[in-house]
Structure 1
Amino acid sequence: MLKQRIITALCLIPLVLAGIFWAPTVYFAWGLVPIFAIAAKEWGRLIDKECNVTQWSFTLTVTSLLIIINVMFPADELWFKGQIHPMFLAIISIGVMWWLISTLLVMSFPKSAKVWNTSPMLKSMFGQLTLIPCFVSLIALKSLSSSVDPYFGGALVFIVMLVVWAADTGAYFAGRSLGKHKLMPSVSPAKTLEGLAGGLLTTMLIVAGVMYVSPEQELGLLIVVTLITALASAFGDLSESMFKRVAEIKDSGKILPGHGGILDRIDSLTAAFPVFTLIYIAMWM
């Protein structure tokens, strides 16, 4: 399993980096559509793992919305005089509100499941709120690239990914070596408070790296934003775990050997990107 995970990661990393840094923003936006379409198909299994009609209906709905977004709001026209298009800001804001609600659902699980467990409509809505704001946030950050600094937007996307990867890696090793107190045993029995703390501490390496490259940044603000983003990523992971546990599904899919499905790989990112993007817009734009 570990060998498969490493091989898959080594194959994917160059593609991810190429898309983030070198793909034109419009191509990047369109390239995300099939990735999120696969994630939508996987979320369809969380709605009803036995009904293909439900799964494909949800996939078609999400994919159609993503295509409409790309057609109506071209990625290279989202920013004007430092302001993002109001529709994108609204979607990102709604996404952050959803993650606040999702956090409450996770913290009150399994009682909260009584509200949505038997409702395909609610689970479908939750899936759209999970995927679409993340899609929009990725495009919003990437499109900050300019002729003056063509890699700026890509760098922001990459930093968020680094924060999430650092938090996941730190949590994994700290949890294995020090973990004693369960974080959310009813949602994900393997996760511990020590793992969460280790993950948050590991993200400080990203803060150190950013300060080294860009020392003019305000250290305290950077630490706070990094920790909030990392915490959001942790609850993004827990949220998917909650829905998978109710659906009695171990992995969302099998498309990535050793890793499961697309949704399994981006669950933390689906929360981290909207949260970081909204903070960035509020603080730095």
Structure 2
Amino acid sequence: MLKSRLITALILIPIVIAALFLLPPAGFAIVTLAICMLAAWEWGQFAGLASSSQRVWLAVLCGLLLAFMTFTLPAYHPVHLPLIAGSLWAALGWWIVALLLVLTYPVSAALWRSSRALRLLFGILTIVPFFWGMVALRQYHYDSDHFAGAWWLLYVLFLVWGADSGAYMFGRLFGKHKLAPKVSPGKTWEGFFGGLVTTGIIAWLFGLWAPLSVSPVTLLTCSIVATLASVLGDLTESMFKREAGIKDSGQLIPGHGGILDRIDSLTAAVPVFACLLLLAFGTL
């Protein structure tokens, strides 16, 4: 399992980085839209959609919704447009609610377990803001520097990857105290703090070498909150998988499971980071 995970990661990471820097914003948005459609297809399991046809329709409707939202905007999407800004602020609100659901699980599940509509709403609040967070960050200062947004997205990706890898290594070596045993028994507090240490090192290195033109306080604040959000995104998906009675959201990525298994942390970290950086701190 570990060998296949490493091989898949070594193949996918260069492809992702190439897409960040080589694709124009429109092409990047199309690729992100396709990823969101696959995520919606997998989310159908969490919402209780038993048949494949129902899940396909959910993916198609998600794609049509995002495409319609995109076509209603100008070619260059300023983040302060109500549709984009509203999506990012909604993400911030949703992940605060998700934190409460995770902290009080399994009691909280009684509120949404029997409601398919509510579980679908949770999916919309997870996938749609993720799409706009990716697009907004990629288009950051695109008119003056075509690669500024790519650097920001790469930074967030490295934060999330670093938190995940650090948590895995520290958890395996030192893990004793369970972080959220009722949601994800394998995660530990030692792994959690190990992930924070790893992301701190990544933030420091990026601050030294990458062209991230923002104050250290803003960068530190956004980075810490985004890292915490990434952990929450992982725990939230684990909670929904536990309720659905499945181990992985899919089998699309060898050794890694499904699309949601790979982007669960990003679905929280990306929109939260974009909301803080671009709207809360006004780094436009």
TM over 0.5: yes
Secondary structure of 1:125's partner? helix
CA deviations over 1:211-258 (Å, ceiling 9, x no partner)? 212597533432222111100000000000000000001000001000
Query: Cα offset for 1:69?
Result: 1.9
CA contact (8 A) 1:237 1:267 kept: yes
Q: What is the aligned partner in structure 2 of residue 50 from structure 1?
A: 50
Partner Cα separation in structure 1 for residue 131 and residue 244 of structure 2: 24
Q: Which amino acid aligns with 2:197?
A: L
TM-score by length of 1: 0.94
Task: Tell me, in whole angstroms, the C-alpha distance in 1 between the residues paired with 2:105 and 2:242.
Answer: 11
2:206 maps to 1:210: yes
Structure 2 residue ranges without an equivalent (≥5):
none
Distance (Å, rounded) in 2 between the aligned partners of 1:105 and 1:54: 26
The match for 1:257 among 254, 257, 262 is 254
Q: Amino acid of the residue matched to residue 90 of structure 2?
A: I
Quote the sequence identity (%): 41
Which amino acid in structure 2 is aligned with residue 261 of structure 1? G
Q: TM-score, normalised by structure 2?
A: 0.94
State how far apart, in whole Å, the 1-side matches of 2:142 and 2:240 are.
39
What amino acid is the match of 2:230? S
Please say which of residues 263-272 and 54-63 is displaced more in the overlay: 54-63
Alignment of 1:46-195 (within 5 A): 46-48=46-48, 50-74=50-74, 76-79=75-78, 84-195=80-191
1:67-106 deviations in Å (ceiling 9; x for gaps): 11221125x4212xxx632210011111111011011000
Shift of 1:147: 4.7
SS of equivalent to 1:189: strand
Show structure 1 runs of 5+ residues with no match: none
* Cα deviation, residue 176, structure 1: 0.9
The CA RMSD over aligned residues, in Å, is 1.6
Distance 1:20 1:216 in 2: 18
State the distance in 1 between where 2:224 and 2:114 align.
35
Deviation at 1:145, TM superposition (A): 4.3
The AA in structure 1 aligned to 2:39 is A
SS at 2:253's partner residue? Answer: coil
Q: Matches of 2:70 and 2:217 in 1, distance apart?
A: 36
Do the aligned partners of residues 45 and 215 (structure 1) sit closer, same or farther apart at CA in structure 2, a change above 3 Å counting? Answer: closer
Shift of 1:177: 1.0
**Cα distance change of structure 1 residues 169 and 62 upon mapping to structure 2, 3 Å threshold:** same
Distance in 2 of aligned mates of 1:45 and 1:216? 41
